[in-house]
Chain A
Amino acid sequence: MSLLNLHLKVWRQNGSQPGHFQDIEAPEIPDHASFLEMMDIVNERLISKGEDPVAFDHDCREGICGMCSMQINGVPHGPEKATTTCQLHMRKFRTGDTIWIEPFRASAFPILKDLMVDRTAFDRIQQAGGFVTVRTGAPQDANALPIGKEVADAAMDAAECIGCGACVAACKNASAMLFVSAKAGQLNSLPQGQPEKDRRTLGMVRQMDKEGFGNCTNQYECEAACPKGISVRWITKLNRDYAIASVKEAFGNTPKVAGGGD
């Protein structure tokens, strides 16, 4: 094990008050620590000095919950491909490095404190159609609904999205298209999702716009930053599904979509 001496530039902010970068020295960080453990060590030291620890989001610390965030040296979840911040290790850094640590920045993700942002906009998008309505009564036989292997695999790929928001953070437009397309596309691919497909697509895209996310300029920074490697082909599908649903809404018999979800 070797120890790293690091210079951190950490964003400090209280709610909607203006924030600033604070220079924090982080000497003697074990290189086998995870990035979040490094933050824990830094916070312990701040607390023992009587200073305010850095607020950051985390939960599972094993790359599955989507709570950890942070823009590390200009990239969401840091430099390692397909890796969440909690799974990023300090051995990826060199002693003497300066590390910029910022919150995910988007108007739709207001900063709560320091590195914590409010991502409930994602929940509201999910509530606008990101589900399959389950009716009460006897469930049908599990084998009664055959699903092709390729379809099931593709839906599983989309289902990998952990809702972390790195796609929004990476995008120059703070667009949520990769998240929305994964969530809508997962269900739109499956037979169970067909009855509500158009309603889901229209509802989720409209909620996405309402939350103030930007729009997609097809630069694919989201895919490059996504810790789960969600493909931009889901965005292709969302564009297609949305156009079809809009045409059906305009000229067909589909009833008008309300907000959805309630």
Chain B
Amino acid sequence: MFKMKTSHMSAVFDSLSRFYASSIGKKFLVALTGLVLIGFVFGHMIGNLLIFVGKDAINEYGHMLQTALHGGGVWIARLGLLAAVGIHIVATIQLTRANRAARKDAYGQHKAQVSSKASHTMIWSGLTLLAFIVYHLLHFTVHAGNDYGTYHTTLHGETVHDVYRMVIAGFSWAPASIFYIIAMLLLSTHLSHGFSSLFQTLGVSTDKTEPLFKKLGYAFAGLVLVGNCSIPIAILFFHYGR
């Protein structure tokens, strides 16, 4: 009885690992994790834009994130995102290596007829984003090399982390702001291809929806670029909150 069960378990496991081992299987995971990351990027941007609503608005939002599910919520989100980013990166690096191996000898002449520049540089925009994610976490989450963790303020009579002051201080330093802006430019190129691409990978694009996904992708890439860059630009160049 027990033996039967484990062999069924391992049959399921075998099939799943064969799925991951296949080219389409890996791409499927890249698309699913890409979709999760797109959702995160959107939510994160909307939350951050609360800085323009005012000091209390963003501090309340930050406090809500920190205390959701008695502080467990933020960790569930972090672990989920870590898994998504991890799978996305490992799979895309494996796929990129397999693609390079599939053509070892370069052409003398090779013309791209229809594909965008962005689609040819996904691994580079992606790896820059990875560097950015690490920097961003050190900067605003771990507070490595800064004292932003000690910024506190009172909100409705409670002592809370002063997110507002942290962001203003963080983006008052030009090199940080400029790196953020560069990273957002690359994120928007990544999304200009990745957004519509994921629907093709998941097998749902049709001749009617493909142009729609394309337009939505460009719009989303533009929105993320403008929305996220507005914060460092407002602070660094227009002295917002300083």
Contacts and interface: CB of A to CB of B under 8 A. Distances in A.
15 contacts: A71-B109, A102-B109, A172-B99, A174-B102, A214-B98, A214-B102, A215-B27, A215-B99, A217-B119, A217-B122, A219-B116, A220-B114, A239-B201, A242-B22, A246-B22
A214 B99 contact: yes
Task: Choose among B12, B27, B102, B107 the residue with the greatest number of A CB atoms under 10 Å from its CB.
Answer: B102
Contacts of A239: 24, 27-28, 200-203
Contacts of A100: 108-109
B74 interface: no
B102 A106 contact: yes
B113 A221 contact: yes
A209 B119 CA distance: 22
A236 B206 contact: yes
A231 B207 CA distance: 10
Contacts of A208: 23
Interface in A218-262: 218-221, 223-225, 231-233, 235-243, 246, 249-251
B241 interface: no
Contacts of A223: 114
Interface of B: 11-12, 15-16, 18-19, 21-28, 95, 98-99, 101-116, 119-120, 122, 193, 196-197, 200-207
Contact of B102 (A170, A175, A242, A249): A175
Contact of A75 (B19, B26, B27, B113): B113
A120 interface: no
A119 to B, nearest CB: 15
Contact of A233 (B11, B27, B103, B205): B205
